[in-house]
Amino acid sequence: MSSPRSAAAGVPAADPHAGQPVLAAGEPLARARVAVVMLHGRGATAESILDLAEPLATPGVAYLAPQAAGGAWYPYRFMDPVRQPEAWLTSALAAVDRALVRVERAGVPAERTVLLGFSQGGCLALEYAARHARRYGGVVGLSAGLIGPPGTRWDYPAAFAGTPVFLGCAAVDPHIPRARVDESADALRRLGADVTERIYPGMGHTVNQDEVDWVRDLLTGLTAGA
Catalytically active residues, by annotation: 119, 173, 205
Give ∠ CA 166-164-220 in degrees, rounded to 5. 90
Whole-angstrom Cα distance, residue 186 to residue 132?
A: 17
The neighbouring-strand residues paired with 34 are 61
Whole-angstrom Cα distance, residue 181 to residue 167?
A: 7
> To 10 degrees, the CA torsion angle through 174, 64, 97, 220?
-90
| Alpha helices in the chain, H assignment, sequence order | 46-50, 86-105, 120-131, 178-190, 209-225
Distances (CA, A) of 181 to 117, 169, 198: 14, 8, 10
Distances (CA, A) of 30 to 23, 24, 64, 111: 15, 12, 12, 17
